[in-house]
Every structure is written in structure tokens, then in C-alpha cells.
Structure 1
């Protein structure tokens, strides 16, 4: 016969086991009933990333994976916070577009130590990432330079515009344009520091203006270039929002017939400019595939399958040129990927993305690039 103390001990043990059994279904439900959970982290908020999100979510549906998408509005600090929150959730892998890979190496090491790290869109080859998914930005930059040559067959003065040069993709795109216009050999490791005029007997690349994703500053940079360089013949926007803002500045200055615009990515205003003849062309990526392939590779790696990683640890998704002869076909394709988002202007899409992010990410901060979101009256949701 058991003593009173033994009975109490048995009851306590039973109660503990019973409590754990109640918690296990809740844990399984929280973790998607045993499904892998992977994260796709962007380098900002932009319609470009909305397309990538569509691809990541579709891969999640097709491959039975939980997908978490995070878009940091405020740069490096927000990206770090979001990554650390994901790591605290014990996600199985993270595909990240590093904002400043050289100065984020500790964060990238932390991801690799606690989960699976791959990069997408912008690489960090010195980090312990297992794979990079994206286009060859240097080659794409050279493609952009080819469009400049088409715009200015007789040469002329060119100005480059980009968000920031801390990102590897921005540096490589810029260098590709420079090397193509200077008729140099193909060398992705070359780098011309900004601040000096780079020229040959045909083309003069006056400068590279950065704006740190600040749209008013980006337009001010374009206006300043027009005002200070009366012989400027071509403006090249290397991030999606740069070309439309250059186009606005050119239109405001009454120089639509004098200054050509060469674009990068698939901003609606740039595509409309190609149709109207105010933009020569654009070099586009495939963000949908960035999202889809990132989820596919992360799931395989989480299951121990490393055969998905190419020998050189780079999964290149080719860029392509969009000109007037193929812009309508491309735009139809783009709208099918964006769905309802394609009917809205980029700022509206971005604001709705931030609102959606705040519901699941209370720490998300307002994006100063889109001040209209801060002017909206507060509503109870």
C-alpha cells in the first residue's frame, strides 16, 4: 500500500505528463503540424518585393512549407531586429537580401549558426551562406550599359543614380554599366570609386548619386544633375524607384526630348515610359523566382538535401532587357503575378504592405520614403 507522500508524488507526475500532453498539440499547431518553416527577408519595402513574396508564398503552397516574409522599412536596424525575431521562433532557414553585407557579417554568422543561411537578390560571398539566388548583377549592369549605347550611339554625358552602394548588387550593377560604356573586359571584381568623372573618347560618366532609399532625395539628386550639367544626355536609374523620379525631374525641367532615361527593374512608371518613348528600356530581374527558389532550396536543405546547391554555390536567374517591342507582353506577365497590386501605384502597394506587416510585426517602423502613410488618421483595426 502506497504512503500518502507516494500518492502525492504519483499524482504530481501524472499531472505533469497530462499538462505536457495538452501542450504538445498546441506546439504542433503553432509549428504548422510538423511542416518546415522558412523565412524570406528583403532589404526594404517595394513592389519588387511584393512580386518576390508572391513567389515565396506559391512555393510554400506547392511544397507544403510555412513561409514567413519580412520587409524591413528602416534599413539595417529593422532587418537585424526581424532576423533575430525569426531566429527566436526557431525557423528552419532564412533567405536574406543583406543591406550592408560587409558590416552585417556578425548577423549573417548568427543566422548560419542557429539556422540555415542563404542569400538572395544581393550576395554576401564572404559570409557562411550556403547559396546565393539571384541574377549576375555585373552582367545585368553591362546589359544596362548596352541600352545606354542604344540611346546614345554617338556618345555623351551620363549620370548614374542608385539607393546605396553598400549593397553588393548596387556596386556590381554600377560597375557593369561603367565597364560596358568604357569598352572594358568582363571583370566583376573591378570597382571604380565614385566621385570622379570616368570617360573615354565617347562617353563621360559624370558621377553616381546615392539617396539611401529616400525618394525626395532621389528626385532632388536628379534635379541637381539636370541643373548643374546642361549637356547631360542620359540618366541611368539602378534601383526600381530611381528611373521614375529621374523622369519626373526631366519632365519638370522641360527636357524630355533632350535627356534619355535607362531603367532597371519593372516599376510601372518605367514601363509606361517605355511605351510612351520617354524611357529607352529597362533591365529586369525575376523576383518571383527569387522567392520561389529560395523557399525550394531552404526546404531541401532543412531536410538534409544539399544536392540543390550548385557547385559554385550560386543559382543564377538570368536578367532580360525590356524595350518597346516586348514591353506590353512583359507588363501582362507582371500584372498576372501582382494580381490586384498591379492596379495600384507603387506607394499604395508599399503602404498596404507595411500595414499588413504591422499586424504580425508590432515593431515595424514607418517608412520615411512614403510620408503619406504617416498622414493617415489612426483607425482601430
Structure 2
């Protein structure tokens, strides 16, 4: 059944780690986000049921590195802040069986993720970091060739006293924050550069700069060659920007991480990525309600509500299952602790998929913080090359 879903890569299946409680197929763990009031985020985890192993499908990326699990945990909790609760929640996720984690310099989640991984190894929840697939992203203020790539010829792990030597500045900071020797996947977060030094969004409009994609991508390629990351890719790239990148790349991007959900299905972009061997990873599969980049349109969609009611599933399950059936990697997150995000042992019918395919499309994350009359993109249409 699974082989029909994967396009652009060879799928394998990997048993998840055993959980202490064998009563659930999919368990939830709470991930609080801090603002003026505490809100709770819930994440999916695949566990064991009645001693039968439930498997998480994986896809082999074009780089040929180890397979990437097609269900992962995103750690972008807005407003961005690290916390002890975040570390504990990630550790619990590892104990329950999660094996892919998505972070970024911007999210402030690299350090608690690294601490959770180290603790998971010490406690025996995993034997080594190699059991996990870790993705991080290059923020716009580091998207400059000279910040991404010096000539690394020494140890991958950064220490402050090594400042006398040339380093891959941005990625070395990432592996230091994560306490890891390498990443599995490193992405250019946005096709934009900003003045160095700021890790914030929204950023001052006067900081926006055009990205020198050639020099930045050459630096990304060097990171892979040096073993700092096993694969490289991009995020928020349109078809046109991918075409430009492919025309200059020696190592093609393995992944394009973009917004995907039933209200923003990305058919044109997905078809292009499949043809070029680029794996699509879906962020905001539920619309990211409650964040500065999200909307509530997905969670309020009547078509999905009707399908969920008729099928005896939750709206979130329908959305996540639909993305999963496209062959995309799903970075799952929900804000309702009552939802049992069980998406692996059932399918959408052809009629249900037809109804979803006919939902009017509207993009939730327009990236307006990167648009300015004086910047490289004067409108959202320019940023997305008309693909909105």
C-alpha cells in the first residue's frame, strides 16, 4: 500500500521505538508555548499496539544518506523561546518513538533539542544520535556566502576557543547548540538575505537584501562534502526559484520544505519536485492557527469537517492523512490535546480525495515580512513568483 504514495524516492519501513505503554497506536505529548498565557501544543507519536510493531514509512533522499521518516515533529512554537518544558517534551517524544525532529536557528529550539537528545542517549531511550533524523535551517541573516562556508578542515564540533580558525559560522553554531557532530538535513530557510546579526521575525524592512544564491548554495554544498550535514535543501522555494537553483547546483537540493495542507495543495510545485527528485516536506499541515504565519482556514473548512464526521475521524486526522497520501513528509503539530492523531492504518476513499481536490485554494503563509518597496521583493507575487 505504501509504495503507491512515494514519488521521487525509494520508500522503506522502519519500526519505531518501543514505548512503555503498549495500549496506543499513536500517543500525544504536550508541548507548551509561552506568551502572556500558556497554550498547549500536541504532537503525534507512533508507538506499539498489542506487541505488534507499527512502522513509520521512510523515504530515501537523492543525496543517498540515511532514510528520512515521513512523519516528523516540528518545534516552531511561537513566540520563539527555549525552555525546560520544551526540552522535557522533546525527550518524552523520543521516549515514545519519534525519530525525526525539525528545528531552526530562528526557533530557539536547537539547544533544548540537543539537550533532550543527549539525555535520551544517557537514559537508554536511544542507543545513539544516529537513530534520529535532525533537520535545521539557515536563517536569513546568515544567508551570505562568507558566513555559511569557510574551509573547514578539522573537527566538526565548535568550541569558543576555536575562533582563531576558519569555520562554517552558521552551521557550526547549529551543531554547537544541538551538541551534535552532524545534521541529517540543512535547509536555506527563505530565499532572502538580511543584514547579519539579527535572528528575529518580523525584521526591519531596511535589513532585507537579495540573496546571492550561487555563493550561499556553494557553501551549503561544501557543508555536505565536509560531513557537517548529510543532505542539503531549501524551504519556501517556488518552482521558478528551484529551477534557478538547479541550474547552478552541483549537488541538487534533496528537500523543499513548504506550506502544504488541503487548502494549499501545491500541485504544480509537487509535480516539479517529483520530476526533479526533490522530496516535499509539509509544514503547517493544519494551517498553523495561532502563529504569526498561520490561519484558521484549514480548521474551519466545512468540506474537511464533513469528511471527518462521516469517517469517524477528527479534522486533523483527515488533513494529516491527506498530506501523508501525497507522499510528502509531514511535520505534525496540533493544538488540541483531545485529538488522537492516528493516520497510518486507514485510507481516504477516492471520493473523499476528490472532494478535497476541489477545495478552493488560498495560501496561509504569504511571507509578507519579506516584502518591501525597497527590498528584493516588492510584493507577495514577486516573492512566490506568481505561484499564489
Normalising by structure 1, we get a TM-score of 0.30
Q: Which has the higher helix share?
A: 1
Normalising by structure 2, we get a TM-score of 0.30
Greater RCO structure (CA 8 Å; 6+ sep): 1
